[in-house]
Amino acid sequence: MSGVSVSRMSPSKSKTSARITEERSQWKGGAVKPWDAGREFDIRGSTREENSLFFWPMQRSLPLTSLSSFALASISVLATVACSHTEALSPPAAAPVAPTMTHNRAEIPDKYKWDVTPIFPSWVAWEDGMKALDAKMGEFAALKGSLAQGPQAVLHAYRLLDEIGILQGKVEGYTELQRDTDTRNQDVSSRFQRVQALSARFGTATAWFTPELLTILQPTMERWIAQTPELGIYRFTILDNYRVQKHVLDEKGERLLSFSTRANDTPDTAFQELSTSDIKFPKVPLADGKEVTLTPGAYQAVLATNYNQADRAKSFEAYLRTYAANANTYAALYNGILQRDWFLAQARNYPSTLSAALDGNNIPSAVVDTLVTTTRQGTGPLQRYLRLRQRLLGLQTYHLYDGYVPIFKAEKHYPYEEAKQMVIASVAPLGADYQAKMKTLLAGGRVDVFENEGKRSGAYSAPIYGAGAFMLMNYNDTMDAVFTLAHEAGHSMHTVLAFQTQPYVTANYTIFVAEVASTMNERLMLKKLLESTSDPKERFVLVQHAVDEIVGTFYTQVLFANFELEAHRLAEQGQPITADVLKDIYGRLLHDYYGDAVTADELYRYTWARIPHFYNSPYYVYQYATCFASSAQLYKAMDTGTAAERAAVTARYLNLLKSGGSDYPMELLKKAGVDLTLRATVQAVVDQMDELVSLLETEAAKIK
């Protein structure tokens, strides 16, 4: 996918059910790599030390060109994707596998596994679905030239698009869910590739739709919609095409750009091959006499568990040097991404790559500018936290690779059944109806709970219209796993409420609001856990989890966005883009955000080379920070004021979830009480960080 998204414009941008995958690797380790080259998804880094977050963005309108519905939305906080850059700054707890479970999937009780029969009862039914999908796509292609016949012709086309999107989400979801429980199954993988190929053909075959739609004058279209009640549910989607009309090419131009899709993915594909298939990870001897091959997972494990700073330093130097050795190649690939984005922005008549990336969801550039400016001015609490870590760890110097090792170990275990009840209890402030729906969601068949051989790592929520939400977990009894469950359940409940309220065309919400629901549920879980304990050590670990979420989901993502802005502006200005140039930008930003709270290590200036997000989905991760700021403001309003005021805020929040993608995300948030163009909205997160660090200092003083 390109960095330019003009959503809801055409079948090649038509909405599909997509998925929100939130990859929280839960410290399982292993290489992070994209599922399928060419699909739009975001990775906020490559290991949890980057707080890497996979995201296949869920959008109101998703391209059928080269990517499919189900795969398009991943919201992940995994350690494969999980949120940050500061070498994680998220101290992991021990991650034992649930003691009563086995790695043999056949022996895991059915209540802890997905029941995919609501999607299709069998593979035979799936094959019938594929045939029906192919036929419907052919039927849609035959509609070319018919739209001007009148409102009924437009209605027929959009209804057919709905049928295609719903069916496409099901055929892909059925294959991908089963593939993710056993990635070794080549039969399922081949079926998934068939879906992708069918979707790619459809994208090119329907490039005519939006240009033809826009030959109908907007006043005429508005009159048709007013005269045809059945077109009412499509009003927002249809009229948004006119908003972006100046960025839509004629049929010949749209068809030409559709042919560039696979070429546009080449720099990203090359990055993935260089970073996975061709990379040779170094071996380092540690102080205990063991030699470790520093794959991403092994490197992460050293940082997270090894209390010998010299071992962490040695591992960091060897690992980052692996990427630095190929810095010129990485720079050339990233320059390819930057030039591609600028080409596509100009081709669609945008003044900048940022405006092109934001226009699909009608986001003003001021949102990103305010986010970056306010965060840069609010790094004081972040630096204060790092100094606290240095003091409590007893380190003479503090480096980013010291952000992983726990200050205090989380020794408490949380069996899944207990965690499930905790999640249900924690959402009581959202009302009895929400809580009842959460109980139903977690009752069985919707959550694939435990790790098994061949299962995809991390965690995600997959929305499939007409079948519901499906959650993947690799639950391991840790505190981090409890928060992951709460997080993914937040995504799934967003899906449940949106799907129950909205028709298909407006059911899917954008990534710009998706993380509001997930982080809200984490906040509610934190409150519940803090209320249940007075032990200062346990409270410290809980509060530190919240602090690390801010570091990873907010500060680090803004730093990433800051880097992307500066790099893209170089391309727009025709400036040279080399490894040295990129290294200098990144090094300067590290100093701007972390100041003298960390020792400046030269090799960290090469971090840009290994962040998959920069190559996979430019201008994407800023939305993690805006979502986090939105949920922070809503939570604060829910937790303060009179009972009537809290009830009103809660009602607005639930309406936000029920609204799906029925309006632009900024408008939906404003209706809920959040305005992201205001500095105060972003500053609230900085203030919260300051309060939590103070609480950490208080609890630390009580620990004997």
Residue 272 φ/ψ, nearest 5 degrees = -65, -40
* SS3 at position 302: helix
Q: What is the DSSP letter of 602?
A: G
Q: Is residue 522 within a helix (H) or strand (E), and if so which, with residue range? A: helix 511-531
Q: Is residue 285 within a helix (H) or strand (E), and if so which, with residue range? A: strand 283-285
Bridge partners (DSSP) of residue 83 are: 51
Bridge partners (DSSP) of residue 82 are: 52
Contact yes or no for 46/610 (Cβ under 8 A): yes
> How would you write 469-517 as a 3-class SS string?
EEEECCCCCCHHHHHHHHHHHHHHHHHHHHHHHCCHHHCCCCHHHHHHH
Contact yes or no for 239/169 (Cβ under 8 A): no
The label of the residue with tokens 């004081």 reads: 380
Burial class of residue 440 (count of CB atoms within 10 Å of its CB; 0-12, 13-18, 19+)? exposed
The label of the residue with tokens 């494990």 reads: 301
Q: Is residue 293 within a helix (H) or strand (E), and if so which, with residue range? A: strand 291-293
Residues in contact with 540: Cβ distance below 8 Å, sequence separation at least 6, in sequence order = 407, 408, 696, 699, 700, 703
In degrees, rounded to 5, the angle at the alpha carbon of residue 92 between the alpha carbons of residues 526 and 636 is 20
Instruction: Look at residues 481, 469, 465, 482 and name the one whose alpha carbon lies nearest to residue 438.
Output: 469
Contact yes or no for 90/24 (Cβ under 8 A): no
Residues in contact with 271: Cβ distance below 8 Å, sequence separation at least 6, in sequence order = 330, 333, 334, 612, 615
Tell me how long the chain is: 704
Calpha distance 424→341 (Å, rounded): 44
Neighbours of 96 (CB within 10 A): 10
Active site residue 163: no
CA 44 to chain CA centroid, Å, is 8
Helices vs. strands in the chain: H and E counts, helices first: 27, 9
Residue 602 φ/ψ, nearest 5 degrees = -55, -40
Instruction: Look at residues 89, 37, 79 and name the one whose alpha carbon lies nearest to residue 54.
Output: 79
Catalytic residue, chosen from 488, 515, 538, 549, is: 488
Instruction: Look at residues 280, 288, 286, 312 and name the one whose alpha carbon lies nearest to residue 299.
Output: 312
Residues annotated as catalytic are 488
